[in-house]
Structure 1
Amino acid sequence: MMIEKIKEIVSSVKNEAISNRRHLHRFPELSFQEYKTSEYVQSVLRSHAIDFEVVADTGVLAKIVGKKSNSTQTVILRADMDALPIHEENDTDFTSQNEGIMHACGHDFHTANLLAVLSILKEMEADFSGTVVGIFQPAEEKIPGGALSILAAKKLPPPGPDVKGVIGLHVSPGLEVGRIGVRPGKFMASADEIFISLKGKGGHGAQPHLNIDPVVIAAQLILSLQQIVSRFADPAIPSVLSFGKVLANGATNVIPNEVTLEGTFRTMDESWRKQALELIEKQIKELPPIYGATAEVEIRRGYPVLVNDEALTGTVSSYLKDYVSADNFEQLGIWTAAEDFAYYSYTYPALFYFIGTGNAEKGMTSALHTPTFQIDEDAFEHAIGAMVYSVLQLLDHA
């Protein structure tokens, strides 16, 4: 039986996957700076005699052509490689050696997982027809994202019926190891960044009538902007507007000249996204002058809504259930985090799903993007095998 055969092979490559993941974890690199990571990926691919080419500076595209029979069908797999500007607090023998940089979002796992998947498919190339393309993508964590660079390189197969789909996964500490989570349709939010500079007239805190207080105006602005979400958005459309950084460099008795704010807007609807950003910009420009201040605003458009193709999701979900069992498969809700995998979903049928990496008994419960985030590496057994099985099934049913 194919599943049993795959599980046997996965058992034989799991230690290599763990070793690769730990190497990547020890030497993380930030977005658009993944040079040594890219070199390491290339060396592993070379050791397995897998063809590849370098694209988008640090990206790598691997390619395996099945030898069972001639076929034009293709499946694309994607893993991201970049890390985050976080100082790791875990105490392990593979703790980050690069000060202030950490794989706190599991991209080390994603990369090691795809390397293992491709090594197995290379070993099984006589057993399938069609082509598997592996994307090792830079810069998921930083706008504009590496996916756009990969797509712009025009090295991927052209969209069309020959491309069965592009598939990616993400670790989830909220799912126990052994579980897989999927959501058809809209899954993850768009994300845009908002940067505001409010300029007033600083002075003594005891004489506010002689000043134009940008701190009070900033407070008014933050509260008024929330009304765009609460009073303009359709309540059925998830929307989030958050300001996580407000800098007013005054003192207890000093009103500053300027306040800067940084925030994010996220939603699950592209039409509302466009309207909301227009309303946000208008409000920022028009409210401060009422109080005598001026405002400058920059809105950096980020990733679009990630949409999982309904048909592909349904098909692959059945394969995932076959591999991990229906008891270990669950339907997910929407998640207002963002992913530049979304760009692939506007070009090809796409599926992005979660693999459980949490383990309460081992104390591995820290959230993504935290300095104590850890992964239960037993997740490789399910992540590698489920992806290999899904690819083979997709190509077998072309």
Structure 2
Amino acid sequence: MAVLWLLLAGLPSFLVGVFAWVLIQHFLTTEIPSTLKHPVKLWFIHGMLLYVVTLGNILEKLRICAMPRFLQFLEGLMPINKDPNVLVTDLHFGTIPVRLLKPKKASSQPRRGIIFYHGGGAMIGSLDRYQSLCSLLASETDSVVLMVGYRKLPGYHHPVLINDCQNASIYFLKNLASFGVDPSRVVLCGESIGGWAVAIVTQALTCIPSLPQIKAQILICPLVNFINFQLPSHQQNKNVPLLTRDFMFMCMCKYLVIDPSWKDAILTGSAIPLDKWKKYRKWLSYDNIPRRFWSQDPQPEILGPFNEAAYLETKHTWNAELSPLLADDKTIAQLPETFLVSCEHDILRDDALLYKKRLEDQGVPVSWYHVEDGFHGCLLLFDKKCFSFPCSMKLINAVISYIKSI
């Protein structure tokens, strides 16, 4: 009993100590660009995120709880913002949990369908967290929205996320009539890793002619390559909230089961064989990024000394099912019209720009919206009242406007 009381008494001191340590680290490493609005607000939000991630890592090292589960537990405590004008139905397509949202107001004809994949690095994010966003999409565009609750870390790794998204989408596409959806107006939409899933699933669906064709794909701040981490946005925004290079790399290694000890080799390009770089440089190089996005003094895009062991650890990232930017020209040319969203202060900004050029080179109609004061993750803050940002509504309004034009 005495030991228990000792632990309980020491817990507040431990939590305060961790908070102080995180605060110091946060102050020393986090970069808030001067053009970002409400910098103090963003600094606070990011500091709290780092704090809970640090606590999760401590719990994981103590073998009490996996860090992703700790984050998911805290996320589950947050309230859900519900729209009284939107009907919400929880379903399962096989073992995959999905959530169907549609306006309560009756429609005399089939509605547009939106299949939505949420973000969160395969670690956080959920149907609950993205419900308010998808409710807004459903009501503002008069659409039926299908949210896919794919399985995540720590229990599930690649390719479970993609398989869940693809299988749920195929089931939905086969049964559009029962959901009141017009088969000629189906849109795939996703944010962050959800945008990555949209790119891969849309490419896969082009090979299934028996299904209704996807009308458009919407990729919001997507990741489309796991190979080149020397792009300008990686140099400029590596310490910018809410997605820093360290957090992105941690999610990537956990999801793809890559030993994090290879971090330096991956980031410096030492894991890239020269022959593969020569073959794919035309798609991966920052030569494809408009010069206005380059740094004033850009670092040269030079590969580090080749490390074969690092390549063997990461060679699966050269598959188009992981890096959709590398899909062959024939597959790219068959893709539907595309809406790409990028944020200026996002480490993944240049992935969207590379994919934009890749699609345009193959004649795919592309619309692009760039949020000059945006940062990764701002999308979800649109309804957080005192923690919202102007860029959040700019982004959402651009997506809504595009969907309504379809």
For the superposition of Structure 1 and Structure 2, which TM-score range results when normalised by the shorter chain? 0.3 to 0.5
Higher strand share: 1
TM-score, normalising length from structure 2?
0.38
Larger radius of gyration: 1
Higher helix share: 2
Give the number of the structure with larger relative contact order, counting CA–CA contacts within 8 Å between residues 6 or more apart.
1
